Structure 1
Amino acid sequence: MAFGNMFEIAEDPKNYSAVRIKIATSEDVISWSFGEVKTSETINYRTFKPERDGLFCGKIFGPIHDYECICGKYKRMKHRGITCEKCGVEVIESKVRRERMGHIKLATPVSHVWFLKGVPSRIATLLEMTLRDLERVLYFDAYIVMDPGGSEIEKLSIVEEEQAIEMKDKFPELELGMGAESVRMLMREMDLEELDNQLREELRSVNSETRRKRIAKRLNIVSSLLHSGNSVDAMIVDTLPVLPPELRPLVPLEGGRFATSDLNDLYRRVIHRNNRLKRLIELRAPSIIVKNEKRMLQESVDALFDNGRRGRPMVGSNKRPLKSLSDMLKGKQGRFRQNLLGKRVDYSGRTVIVVGPTLKLHQCGLPKVMARELFKPFIFHKLIDYQEIHTIKMAKKKLEENSPRVWAILEEAVREHPVLLNRAPTLHRLGIQAFEPVLIEGKAIQLHPLVCTAFNADFDGDQMAVHVPLSVEAQLEAKILMMSTNNVLSPSNGKPLMTPTQDMVLGLYWITRETEGAQGENKIFSNRQEVVTAHDHGKVDLHARIHVRLNPGEALVETTVGRAILSLIVPEEVPYSAINRQLKKKQMAELIDTAYRTAGNIKTVRMLDEMKNLGYRFATRAGFSISMMDMVIPEEKHGLLSRAQSEINRINTEYQEGAITDGERYNQVIDVWAKTTEKIAEKMLGGLSKGMIDAEDQTEKVNSIFMMADSGARGSNQQMKQLAGMRGLMAKPSGEIIETPILANFREGLNVLEYFISTHGARKGLADTALKTANSGYLTRRLVDVAQDTVITQHDCGTLDGIDMTALIESGEIIEALGDRVLGRVVLEDVIDPLDENNVIVEAGHELTEAEVKLIEEAGIEKIRVRSILTCIADHGACRLCYGRDLAHGHLVNMGESVGVIAAQSIGEPGTQLTMRTFHIGGTASRRAEQNTWDARFSGLLRFEDLKEVRDRDNNLIVLGRRGEAVIMDQHGREKERRPLPLGAKLRRTAGDEVAQGDTIAEWDPFSIPIITDVSGFVKFVDLEEGETFREQVDEVTNLSRRVVKESPNHEKRPRILILDS
């Protein structure tokens, strides 16, 4: 069948090319129905049998029990197909109560709330009425003109009830209507084809933008109706379908009460009001009563379709809004997202995770009890294969007996059969990865420590789900695409995700340290194996500086014992310089990245496992601990604080004297404390890094806390600052900084006031974490929705367009270098060396590799034109060359890669993680001391661009404009640094000066914007009138007044300053 009708059972249900959803007409509803529901009764309170013609009627919907009529006359299969002459119920299977629908014939037509209240309102747009007017007509609040009947009143205009009688007397031919019946008549009068042509004509002739928009909106609905073949008047309903009773069940509870679906309540209200309306019409009740009943019927049908869409929602006995038909479909808990898109699956389990430090990177520990259940079909298959049993029943029995043979076969079934591990929330594709299971005792899954970053898992009670891929194709896909060993790099930034963390970082940092005067210093070794032997026998210290020959015939290399040991596990392709340094977390990521690019995936994975083992081993042997004595408070702290306090006193004095405003005072105070906090932190870190000399053996002992933060294993400088420096400035929940800082640190302890100020930040952290996590998850969902059809569909779209890439610079600081921005992109034009025009560094159409990026940076190129997905002209999706490198694998993207989803996840996943950060810092204000000088970062020749300057009375050069920039050039005329100069900056150097690195070029006040004149003379204020253009403002603290210019009601007066000559 070309188009599937939902309610027709097709001969071949799988053979269809499309499904069409149409508006159901009354004829459709009656054709689906097995009978009319006439009463609002459900089941008999005494017999618990369904009432006849009620919402659970057996005659309409079928029997309650298989092959048994309601009255009990016919029972069992021998009477199949007979209709009982007593109760009218067909003797068939009871499952038809899930399929058979009924209908309710309404006494008056009602509008469908979806087409009335949807945005834009379809009915209102078609009739060219406002939604408010249409609602008044449908809910019996006003009349609509159906036929002017010779009067001057326009058709479709609204008439109030009071005026209607008057107008009827005046114009007897005038036809007025009210309610859905009148609206349906108006809609039936429409000729859609004629209206379509008329609107198209109007659209061509009208010039007004708003009118064009209105016509286009109406035309869109008219042409959609013509195209779909939907009937216009089907938006007005006169027959309601009734859902099969098993889909809105009534369940008996203990104690004789019933739990019922909300739909039953909503249907009962509709039937109740419908029957009452029928009776009122038969009794010829006054029109006001009938109108009110019609309005109530309309409201009850609205509530059934979409409760709460219009007006207040209908509520049940517990004051909770009732769940309507729309609510059952929409949202996260609706039918689509809850049951159709996200199903519970067989052969899956979930349990707590624990760390598995002995596992290989491609393995996970799976509890035996869990595996036995998950791999049940495979065990049965093997038992039958080995002819140990012959039926599934026997296999089940054998499994329950826990015989040793079952465990042996389980081992066999599990071998090389990957399982998928998933940790919720799955924010990016690495939230589900494949592993080879290793059977373990216990009831917790063991997880490899290196994959924790990708899953964002920790072992404080996190749970994970296991899924078994059943088909050969699924297993193959899991092995090739989803295996943890094939996901070393992050899809969002191309950097290694599987980097050592915490203990491993600490262990590797420890073995790559160098200590002066260590045992065995300056010894020479012929190879690395000798170093290991000497260390094992205690002849050389781990941190001793030694000389070793790495490979036969090569020169000696100066290194340390630990680094020589580490080099044994690193692939040969990796240059020794990558290891021969103090390795911190960042350097370890660089080492893994280098290994991946030079030695390939397999060797990198082996290296990662070895790094994990080495890291754990040496972290244990180093014996790190944390003690209060490690939190060393700098001696200079007291002096720095008293200096800051005297600076604050000076600022306050200036404020008291009226030299500065309250705003300036606040900014300066905050700045003083920010600078003091930074200085104390510097002194503290400087003291900790030096270590302490052990009194017994006179060896240097390194501070454990410093090593943990410095290596990147745990904690940060900011947290150390709070432990042993000073907590510093705190922020209010509004984000405003409290000007009284916390002078104490955690080691000294906080007093009551300081503790109270701290609680602000802690509470904000908790609240933010709860609120923003949900928002960021929703953002990811919307991003995926919008980008999911962007797929790589062709190799080259042939575009000649691209975008220019330059380094990202913000206020003189290079945020992201050009090399980092263009790596992996395809260049659009040849990249030519600026010093040698014949030297083409990279040819057009070539993907930029790490080596080429290095050449570009060395050549000092500032701008490159690259292909971009923004300028790709592929008909669908994007092409490989415009997209560039697939960051997860380090080569040009493959055909068919869903780059849109990857992009959406790459934005959404960090968003959720960032929310957590507030909580960890604990509310300390992250404001840094404001910059008030510019010191050159490179040496070179100084040049100014677009600079206006003026000399002040002290002969200093002052920047006059806002667009001026200072540039430092090297000897080849290439730009090394560029910086915007703020208005009012005092220049220390002039154009053409040679500047050295660190020279101060300009200084300014970051907290005020000066008004500067470029001519000298006398100041004259114009249009400054008290109460009119300025007001006197008295400072409550200093009792000094100052003049504040305000907006004048008289627009002719413009307060300004004139400079007059003498």
Structure 2
Amino acid sequence: MSQKGIKSLTISIASPEQILSWSKGEITKPETINYKSLKPEPNGLFDESIFGPSKDYECYCGKYRKVKHKGKVCERCHVEITESIVRRERMGHIELAAPVAHIWFTKELPSPSKISLLLDITYKEVDQVVYFVNYIVLDEGNNEYDGKSIFNKKEVLDLTSPKNSIRSRNKLRRTLRNIQERIEEELNHEREALIQDFDYRLAVTYDQMLKDSNIPFSVKDVMAFIEKHTGVRFGIGAEAIHELLEKLNLEEEHEKIKQAIQNSPNAYDQKTKRLLRRLECVRWIKDSGSKPEWMVMTRIPVTPSETRPIISLDGGRFTTSDTNNFYRKIIIRNERLKQMQATDAPEILLDNEKRLLQEAVDSLFDNNSRKKPVVGKDKRPLKSLSNHLKGKQGLFRQNLLGKRVDYSGRSVIVVGPELKMYEVGIPALMILKLFRPYIISELIRKRDEFGNEIQPICANIKLAEQKILAQDDEIWPVVEKVIKQRPVILNRAPTLHRLGIQAFEPKMVDGKAIRLHPLVTTAFNADFDGDQMAVHIPLSKEAVAEARSILLASWHILGPKDGKPIITPTQDMILGIYYLTKEKFPQPIEEMILKDPVQARIEFINHFHIFATQDEAIRAYKLKTIRINDVIGITTKAFDNKSFSKEGILVTTVGKIIFNQAFPTNFPYINDVKNLYGDNQFEIIGMHESILDYLKAYNLKEPLTKKTLSTVIDYLYKVSEIEVVPQTMDKIKALGFKYSMISATSISAFDIPSYDQKYEYFKETDELVAKLREFYLDGKLTDDERYTKVVQAWSQTKDKVTHDIEKLINSDEYKDNPIVIMAKSGARGNTSNFTQLAGMRGLMSKSYNYDQKNNSGVIKDTIEIPIKHSFIEGLSVSEYFNSSFGARKGMTDTAMKTAKSGYMTRKLVDSTQAVVIKGNDCGTKEGIIVREIRNTKDNTSIESLKDRIVGRFSINPIYDTKNKLIIEGDKLITNEIANMIQNSGIREVEVRSPLHCSSLYGVCQKCFGLDLSTNKLIETGTAIGVIAAQSIGEPGTQLTMRTFHTGGVAGDTNITQGFERIKQLFDCIQPQENEKAIISQVKGTVDRIEKDSNTNGYNVVIKYNKDNFVSYPTRPNAVLRIKTGDNVVAGQKITEGSIDVNDLLKYAGIENVRHYIIKEVQKVYRMQGIEISDKYIEVIISQLTNKVTITNPGDSGLFVGETISINEFTEVAQSMLVNKKKPPSAINQVFGLDHAPSKSGSFLSAASFQDTKKILTDAAARSQKDMLIGLKENVILGNLIPAGTGLKDVEEVIAYGEEMYKKQY
């Protein structure tokens, strides 16, 4: 421990002495409390003399009360006078009358338990010995037959099962005959003497009993007899295991196993695998300093009494923690066993009692892994100590990783358009509750800020509370003052990414709802249909500074996942801006254009107004001389600070002038969407140019849409100071709302375009479907082929209808149609909605079990009869039925998807939470070679080269095709340089990547590059692991659940896509047989491709190493990716489908695996229109692929089969080479998300993810030390996380907070 908290944490097996040192006394009675006096019973489970007083500074008998006696121990009741909180930390113990094996070390399914590995006996045999079923040999004694010992040490004698007992009986009989022979020799074979000899007669009797399995006999007696004569010792129960473990020589065992592994002929058979497991286990315990016999306990600790309380219910009844029931059972059985031992009870009764004690202790530690768990009154298994750790409700996830907090509240949200970007409206009632301590402190304050005495508003706290309760007028000025002192933090569940929590300055509002700024809704993914949000208050100075400087909403302009603006206006605001920036010819010209376009152009000059200043133009609009969208001219001199490519008359509209006033004065004038901030000379009529000629050729410019506005905001962020952006956004928001109201856009059924071309298409398709049905009935088509062709036909019909409607809404006739305006501007709706409103609904999907084993290669999850009517026409009954079928499937899919996506995000965070930016440069010379990602199937670009390299560091200098230097090595590739690289025809670039960062923990700044949310070099201490996980997990819910159908055959594109594909890639799940791509295992040339008539597939023959051939048979109807004569490399696809990652690793190496996963993940997200930076996917993949398994330890001291990180392995290998020793060798591993967290090296982080019991058992066996490197481990221990401001000085954080506070407007 240090001043800053715990530095590291070690877990190990507790020795009996250690348990005693924790304990404050032994518990001997099963009683808990006295139900009359409600006081704890002495020597019971709540004894005050052991656990501490129930009431602060008051002993049990009442002799001492009050703080002044602190530290004394009462002479009468032996209770120490102290605070009652010690009852949460003081422990007791129970001395066991017989040793008991710890269930975690005896039952550890599916893997063999630690005891079974140490003693080299099977898991089942350990179980039989511990539960008094079978005996085990403790000492083989002097007992041979044919020169061999009859019994081996640690051999388990099975006398219970009819099948296996014959062998054990025969061995015992052989031993008894040996004894008979010995006695015969001693007595010279004299018959009389033998008959007289008691031991001889006994040996004969026992032999007879063992021969006839129906005769009952005492095993104990037989074994005692054998021990007396041969020295062979047998044992049963945990005592026997304890003795064997005690006598185990770990050094000898270690050498023996090592030797056996070296002599093993096959490195991959089960026997060798078990030897490796044993070696690992023996080594752990040997190196940990623990003794193996500590796995069998002679005393058990009793947890502090406050952690397992008794609670009184109404009606005088009590309820208690299940742990108390377990302890009671143990104490009762333990005391009964002690009494039996004292009265010399028969061995069989003692054994039975010991077994009961073993079971009682087992159920305390782990009730659920027993065959018959102990159940409560409601027949449900009681919660044991293991259950308190495991699962969502366990200690790790419920109490240590997620805590409930004070100073918080929640309410429904409504829109607050009048707020500034960093403000939130909090209801007055809520503020009175949340800020209560601060308001009271201000009301009773006796000195002002300068230390002068003042008259307090209230004399004491009580009066202040009464005033707050009565909502007295005097308190409101104080409340206004108090809420300015600190921001509040808002959170909307589910918090899928870091923008789900942001800080705002509070503003008091009436009503009971929280008012939220409309621009931050995208980040929170909030809408105003009843969503609720939680409010929290930062308390400490550094928390307030952090909230203001880092969490404040106005600094979150760009989304972290793609670096695009996340505060882009939406819906009404877009509509308003679209209306404001639209261009129209003056009204008379508009009417004339329809009749005589040429004359209208000439007439245009007579209605073209030119203004000298902005105010003049706006006044003309207000006086209704011109309309807001009319094309006008204004001199470039009217704009003071804006730079134009030439002087003259700028052709624009009043709307655009008003819009541009929202931007900073030095920002380029936004006039043409196609030419946002480039050369605007074509928008200006120069000094000596003819206005008439210009106007004759003039074409109206497109208005701003959601997309183009986003680009403008992006540019604004790049060129302006950070505090300018939110101010500008607020102005744009106000304009948007104002002009969407002025535009008076409405919507009615008559606005939907009329369209009836579709009936011709229907006629054609219906005829085709009927034809296909005939073919099927004649046996010319299979049902699968018919279904596929029908679905394909209707899909094509719908595509035609969609195309027609797109053409229709883009025609001049509909340019002022309100619905079209909504869709075009990006405010609401899209072409697909128009198709359904005016055209046809098309094919609907139906529920389908995708995991079923079906013989047909086609997934039939589409109803083959389409819905021909559109919504405006109305659906028929059968169409409505089919439609609701699809709609319900959509709803259930969404619900399923949310849960699955949330679980995947959790796994992603768990895998990467320890990845933090460490240091500026790790000095690596390795990087990844980046190319454009293309979809090889249809040769379309998925992600351009520019997108992949921007914001990264180059490794080597980059030259263009003419050998001219574009950028030096180790320099940042900016947007401009990335464009130059792409335009110069360079196909691939080598850049730094998190995959090759050689920092021991985390990633360095240069390997990561720019921070997408700030466009600056990423800061040290940024928790990019968590950001990467959130960026990939957050859009997970937008991915489709299943396959997209192009209506082709199953082998064509119906391979898993969408969310399931991401899961398949990250969890390293093997693709199903009909989806799996065949890959080449060698580098060579395709020699020939033969059609296989039996299987309907192909045989692809590849020639390699001059004259070696290898053949790959494909599945029926496989789509080939190669042709004869092609050169192939190892890992290249031969057929279409998904590659099995483990196969790719085996034949093509780790780099190919990494590139394949990046490409496939990007394919899934970008097909859905979701952009995610490669760097995040690389961070995840680096965590899945950064481990190696040792194949040959060399002189390193590592062992075969051990898994360590690549960076650790490199360090070990380098130090071996430096010291001229033999370095180890290893192979790369790929772990799925399910296994990556448990390989993190931190047992706290791993145990709080999954398999809690196994991870803690392993960690305890090796006395593992957790250095608390990751974030999760530190959260569990209540430290500040080693990231972000957790690494900075408190004063530095506060100073930064104050500096940023000044930037609020």
Is the pair's TM-score, using the shorter chain for normalization, greater than 0.5?
yes
Aligned counterparts of 1:415 and 1:551: Cα–Cα separation in 2? 43
Alignment counterpart, residue 27 of structure 1, candidates 17, 33, 37: 17
Secondary structure of the structure 1 residue equivalent to 2:723: helix
Shift in CA distance, 852/65, structure 1 to aligned 2, threshold 3 Å? closer
| Contact 1:124–1:134 (8 Å) recurs in 2 | yes
Which letter does structure 2 place at the counterpart of 1:853?
A
**Is 1:827 paired with 2:912?**
no
For the aligned residue pairs, the C-alpha RMSD in angstroms reads: 3.6
1:229-250 Cα shifts (integer Å, max 9, x gaps): 2232111112122223332122
Partner of 1:943: none
**Is 1:337 paired with 2:397?**
yes
**Is 1:927 paired with 2:1045?**
yes
Which letter does structure 2 place at the counterpart of 1:718?
S
Secondary structure of the structure 1 residue equivalent to 2:527: coil
Partner of 2:1195: none
Secondary structure of the structure 1 residue equivalent to 2:314: coil
**Is 1:467 paired with 2:525?**
no
Map residues 390-429 of structure 1 onto 2, 5 A cutoff: 395-396=464-465, 399-400=468-469, 402-415=471-484, 417-429=486-498
**Is 1:719 paired with 2:711?**
no
Alignment counterpart, residue 98 of structure 2, candidates 102, 108, 112: 108
Alignment counterpart, residue 610 of structure 2, candidates 525, 531, 537: 525
Partner of 1:537: 623
Secondary structure of the structure 2 residue equivalent to 1:259: strand
Shift in CA distance, 365/786, structure 1 to aligned 2, threshold 3 Å? same
Shift in CA distance, 50/534, structure 1 to aligned 2, threshold 3 Å? same
Aligned counterparts of 2:59 and 2:984: Cα–Cα separation in 1? 91
Alignment counterpart, residue 554 of structure 1, candidates 647, 652, 657: 647
Shift in CA distance, 561/78, structure 1 to aligned 2, threshold 3 Å? closer
Partner of 1:209: 267
Aligned counterparts of 1:984 and 1:270: Cα–Cα separation in 2? 68
TM-score by length of 1: 0.80
Aligned counterparts of 2:500 and 2:1121: Cα–Cα separation in 1? 53
Secondary structure of the structure 1 residue equivalent to 2:904: helix
Alignment counterpart, residue 570 of structure 1, candidates 653, 663, 671: 663
1:537-564 Cα shifts (integer Å, max 9, x gaps): 2233334344444455624444444334
Which letter does structure 1 place at the counterpart of 2:30?
S
Partner of 2:928: 803
Aligned counterparts of 1:668 and 1:321: Cα–Cα separation in 2? 56
| Contact 2:788–2:1048 (8 Å) recurs in 1 | no
Which letter does structure 2 place at the counterpart of 1:830?
P
Aligned counterparts of 1:59 and 1:476: Cα–Cα separation in 2? 47
Structure 1 residue 724: Cα displacement: 2.8
| Contact 1:962–1:983 (8 Å) recurs in 2 | no
1:61-101 Cα shifts (integer Å, max 9, x gaps): 4554556665667777898846464x776676554443443
**Is 1:141 paired with 2:133?**
yes
Partner of 2:317: 257
Which letter does structure 1 place at the counterpart of 2:446?
I
1:592-633 Cα shifts (integer Å, max 9, x gaps): 112212334333322211121111112222223332223345
468-477 vs 500-509, which moves further? 468-477
| Contact 2:586–2:627 (8 Å) recurs in 1 | no
Aligned counterparts of 1:419 and 1:565: Cα–Cα separation in 2? 34
| Contact 1:305–1:326 (8 Å) recurs in 2 | yes
**Is 1:889 paired with 2:983?**
no
1:432-461 Cα shifts (integer Å, max 9, x gaps): 112222222223221111111111112222
Aligned counterparts of 1:496 and 1:294: Cα–Cα separation in 2? 69
| Contact 1:961–1:983 (8 Å) recurs in 2 | no
Which letter does structure 2 place at the counterpart of 1:147?
D
| Contact 2:497–2:1030 (8 Å) recurs in 1 | yes
Which letter does structure 2 place at the counterpart of 1:159?
L
Structure 1 residue 496: Cα displacement: 0.7
Map residues 657-668 of structure 1 onto 2, 5 A cutoff: 657-668=778-789
Alignment counterpart, residue 231 of structure 1, candidates 291, 299, 304: 291
**Structure 1 segments unaligned to the other structure (5+ residues):** 3-12, 693-699, 934-945, 951-959, 965-980, 987-1005, 1008-1062
**Is 1:37 paired with 2:27?**
yes
Secondary structure of the structure 2 residue equivalent to 1:352: strand
**Is 1:901 paired with 2:1026?**
yes
Q: Higher RCO, 1 or 2 (CA under 8 Å, sep at least 6)?
A: 2
**Is 1:675 paired with 2:796?**
yes
Structure 1 residue 885: Cα displacement: 1.1
Partner of 1:852: 977
**Is 1:366 paired with 2:364?**
no
1:518-575 Cα shifts (integer Å, max 9, x gaps): 4676524345444433332223333434444445562444444433432222344346
726-735 vs 178-187, which moves further? 726-735
Shift in CA distance, 154/769, structure 1 to aligned 2, threshold 3 Å? farther
Shift in CA distance, 610/82, structure 1 to aligned 2, threshold 3 Å? closer
**Is 1:644 paired with 2:765?**
yes
Secondary structure of the structure 2 residue equivalent to 1:145: strand
1:393-426 Cα shifts (integer Å, max 9, x gaps): 6655554564444322332233363222222222
**Is 1:656 paired with 2:777?**
yes
Q: Identity across aligned pairs (percent)? A: 42
Aligned counterparts of 2:710 and 2:315: Cα–Cα separation in 1? 65
Aligned counterparts of 1:483 and 1:94: Cα–Cα separation in 2? 42
Which letter does structure 2 place at the counterpart of 1:158?
V
Shift in CA distance, 73/983, structure 1 to aligned 2, threshold 3 Å? closer
Map residues 236-635 of structure 1 onto 2, 5 A cutoff: 236-279=296-339, 281=341, 290-380=350-440, 382=442, 383-386=445-448, 387-389=454-456, 395-396=464-465, 399-400=468-469, 402-415=471-484, 417-515=486-584, 518=587, 522=604, 523-526=608-611, 527-551=613-637, 554-571=647-664, 572-574=666-668, 576=670, 577-578=672-673, 581-635=702-756
TM-score by length of 2: 0.66
**Is 1:131 paired with 2:141?**
no
Aligned counterparts of 1:660 and 1:219: Cα–Cα separation in 2? 62
Partner of 1:976: none
Aligned counterparts of 2:815 and 2:1003: Cα–Cα separation in 1? 58
Shift in CA distance, 767/295, structure 1 to aligned 2, threshold 3 Å? farther
Structure 1 residue 182: Cα displacement: 0.9
Partner of 2:247: 189
Map residues 1042-1053 of structure 1 onto 2, 5 A cutoff: none
395-404 vs 878-887, which moves further? 395-404
Shift in CA distance, 244/830, structure 1 to aligned 2, threshold 3 Å? closer
1:18-43 Cα shifts (integer Å, max 9, x gaps): 44333222233333334333333334
| Contact 1:352–1:464 (8 Å) recurs in 2 | yes
Which letter does structure 2 place at the counterpart of 1:927?
H
**Structure 2 segments unaligned to the other structure (5+ residues):** 144-148, 176-225, 449-453, 591-603, 639-645, 677-700, 851-860, 1053-1084, 1090-1097, 1103-1117, 1124-1135, 1138-1305
Structure 1 residue 663: Cα displacement: 2.2
Structure 1 residue 187: Cα displacement: 0.5
Map residues 903-918 of structure 1 onto 2, 5 A cutoff: 903-911=1028-1036, 913-914=1037-1038
Aligned counterparts of 2:883 and 2:351: Cα–Cα separation in 1? 64
Shift in CA distance, 88/660, structure 1 to aligned 2, threshold 3 Å? same
| Contact 1:671–1:930 (8 Å) recurs in 2 | yes
Structure 1 residue 286: Cα displacement: 5.8
Structure 1 residue 489: Cα displacement: 0.6
| Contact 2:905–2:1034 (8 Å) recurs in 1 | yes
Structure 1 residue 357: Cα displacement: 0.5
| Contact 1:585–1:711 (8 Å) recurs in 2 | yes
1:476-525 Cα shifts (integer Å, max 9, x gaps): 22222222121101111111111111211222223333456746765243
Partner of 1:765: 890
1:946-991 Cα shifts (integer Å, max 9, x gaps): 99999xxxxxxxxx99999xxxxxxxxxxxxxxxx976999xxxxx
Number of residue pairs matched?
A: 924
Structure 1 residue 160: Cα displacement: 0.7
Secondary structure of the structure 2 residue equivalent to 1:294: helix
1:182-239 Cα shifts (integer Å, max 9, x gaps): 1111110112344345445555565632455444433333333333322321111121
Partner of 1:974: none
Structure 1 residue 361: Cα displacement: 0.9
Shift in CA distance, 416/97, structure 1 to aligned 2, threshold 3 Å? closer
Aligned counterparts of 1:770 and 1:984: Cα–Cα separation in 2? 38
